[in-house]
Amino acid sequence: MAECVSNPNDYTQLLDVTALSCPLPLLKTKLALKSLAVGDVLLVRACDAGSWRDIPRYLELSEHQLMSASREGNEYHYWIVKGVKR
């Protein structure tokens, strides 16, 4: 998993799930990805520690790509590129 992005402000949509706990950050991420076009970037902000495991694992099994992930204090950030069905 990458630790930084070249431009952290380069995203199509922001999903703020910092007030939600497991399993909602992952579920909201899946729903947000459905509404994006292929190649769009979703930035997810979460405070649930389980998201550090759940979101990257889901993306490994999906058509989407985790471009970068970072942790800042108790907040987790994920830059996800919407992919195409395999």
Residue 55's Cβ-side half-sphere holds a number of Cα atoms within 13 Å equal to 37
Segments in the chain forming alpha helices (H): 24-34, 51-60
From the list 22, 24, 36, 47, the catalytic residue is 22
Q: Please, is 51 exposed, middle or buried when counting C-beta atoms within 10 Å of its C-beta (0-12, 13-18, 19+)?
A: buried
**Known catalytic residue at 4:** no
Catalytic positions? 22
